[in-house]
Structure 1
Amino acid sequence: MCRVCFEALPRIGRPSCGRCGIPAAFEMRVCEACKTVDFGFESARAPLRYEGVGKEIVHALKYRGYTRVVEKLAAPLMAEALGVPGPFDAVVPVPLHRARKRKRGFNQAALLARGVAGRMNTPVSDTLQVVRSTRDQVELSAAERRANVAGAFAAKAPLRGRLLLVDDVLTTGATLSACADTLIEAGAAEVHSLTLCRTC
């Protein structure tokens, strides 16, 4: 990444909502945008907005297979943005349906999870799995996204402790919330989420 693009990174920074991580005028525990939403996770953090160079990075990783961006840029930014006191018992990637993984060749969330976990000296758990195919979420409303992912995930084994759930982008939080609910049902005490980008 050239210096101009690096300086153009759409960083989120502080202040932000303590729950959903959206930029705010001042630090707050819960913002107006998320106070009526029933998320399965305790908190959500992301270092970048899903726009400009941030969006280009996600697309380079996801659609062009530029996996080097994980270690060089994404994982360091994500670990720095986490801001939630540790430790975590495991880092859990949001799973990808086998058909999509076969087409893409990898799960970008798993690559990000490994990169972040390596910086935290925390194990990665692949206990989450997709149990039914879902529609692409891009054109769906928030309510449609929640319905689309309801019951789409399952845990392969019992869980415990504090978990960090990782994905590439947070839009409405529907996928992360469904995954977090599944982890809690499987025995996790607490789930926090971390993504590379989020819509704001």
Structure 2
Amino acid sequence: MTLLDFDLTGILAPNDCLLCQTPQGAPLCSSCQVALECLSSGCRFCCNPHVSPSTHQCAWCERLAFQPQSLEAGLLLRNQTRKVFHLAKFQGYWPLIDFLCQRGLNRFLKLPFTTYDGLAYVPSSFFKRLHRPVNPAYAVANFLHRKTGIPLFHLLSHRLSRQTQIGLDYQARRRNAQNRFHVVTGAKLPRSLILVDDVLTTGATLTACSQQLHQAGVQRIAWFGLLRAV
């Protein structure tokens, strides 16, 4: 059991909207919820918002060291969405993750999710767990599990490392992600799964996790990132 199993909204969030301070009796008012930007166009494969929606594969896709079967992302990480995510991830307002997930759920449903055996998530490091009680990638995967009934698997572990991905360029993120993850000893692996992360930036973290899972025997892997960095 984790913090996500309890409804802590009333404890962790005030009665006023956290963004505009409108009295609502909820952490986000309806206007601010609508302002959370869903992805609506971009590369047909990777959801890159900087290219035409007629693009079937862009430069971002082509440089991936691992090609997922399918890929989707929920919202654009900017403006009000960025503010809400930072409140959740860095200031402890964990119930806000569900608001973001609910807003981005339709994008997840675009995946052929019924053809996959389950969900897995990117694990957090030991040092992050010391000061952050909830892994946001797990929070997203758990939300999707609750909404769709897709089994949730705990398959990956994070090797001991202090270096984060924040602030690194593409090449540095790829180097940093290599060999950071391993499949949990004795884990029963499904034949196919959807790998979930909170933020999709360069794809380096999802690539590193996917390579470990594929080498261990998972045959088909799709990706879902709740937020797409722009």
TM-score (norm 1): 0.90
Name structure 1 gaps, 5 residues minimum.
Answer: none
Task: State the partner residue of 1:151.
Answer: 179
Amino acid across the alignment from 1:131: R
Q: Summarize the Cα distance change of 1:20–1:134 in structure 2 as closer, same or farther, 3 Å threshold.
A: farther
Q: Is the 8 A contact 1:90 1:163 kept in 2?
A: yes
Q: Summarize the Cα distance change of 1:108–1:36 in structure 2 as closer, same or farther, 3 Å threshold.
A: closer
Q: Summarize the Cα distance change of 1:5–1:42 in structure 2 as closer, same or farther, 3 Å threshold.
A: same
Task: State the partner residue of 1:196.
Answer: 226
Task: State the partner residue of 1:79.
Answer: 105
Offset at 1:129?
A: 0.4
Task: State the partner residue of 1:91.
Answer: 119
Is 2:75 aligned against 1:66? no
Name structure 2 gaps, 5 residues minimum.
Answer: 1-27
Task: State the partner residue of 1:5.
Answer: 32
Q: Look up the SS of the partner of 2:87 in the other structure.
A: helix
Measured against aligned partners, the alpha-carbon deviations of 1:86-131 in whole angstroms (never above 9, x if no partner) come to 2221111110012211211121111111001111111111110002
Is 2:130 aligned against 1:102? yes
Percent identity of paired positions between Structure 1 and Structure 2: 28
Q: Is the 8 A contact 1:150 1:178 kept in 2?
A: yes
Deviates more, 1:77-86 or 1:45-54: 77-86
Q: Tell me how far apart the structure 2 counterparts of residues 17 and 26 of structure 1 sit (CA, whole Å).
A: 5
Q: Is the 8 A contact 1:78 1:195 kept in 2?
A: no
Amino acid across the alignment from 1:190: R
Q: Tell me how far apart the structure 2 counterparts of residues 97 and 118 of structure 1 sit (CA, whole Å).
A: 24
Offset at 1:25?
A: 2.2
Equivalent residue for 2:62, pick from 32, 35, 58? 35
Deviates more, 1:172-181 or 1:129-138: 129-138
Offset at 1:43?
A: 3.1
Q: Look up the SS of the partner of 1:33 in the other structure.
A: helix
Q: Tell me how far apart the structure 2 counterparts of residues 4 and 150 of structure 1 sit (CA, whole Å).
A: 41
Equivalent residue for 1:18, pick from 44, 65, 73? 44
Task: State the partner residue of 1:181.
Answer: 211
Q: Summarize the Cα distance change of 1:164–1:77 in structure 2 as closer, same or farther, 3 Å threshold.
A: farther
Q: Tell me how far apart the structure 2 counterparts of residues 25 and 168 of structure 1 sit (CA, whole Å).
A: 24
Q: Summarize the Cα distance change of 1:57–1:42 in structure 2 as closer, same or farther, 3 Å threshold.
A: farther
Q: Look up the SS of the partner of 1:46 in the other structure.
A: strand
Offset at 1:40?
A: 4.6
Offset at 1:36?
A: 3.4
What's the Cα RMSD here?
1.8
Q: How many residues align?
A: 198
Amino acid across the alignment from 1:108: P
Q: Is the 8 A contact 2:36 2:81 kept in 1?
A: yes
Amino acid across the alignment from 2:134: F
Amino acid across the alignment from 1:55: R
Q: Look up the SS of the partner of 1:192 in the other structure.
A: strand
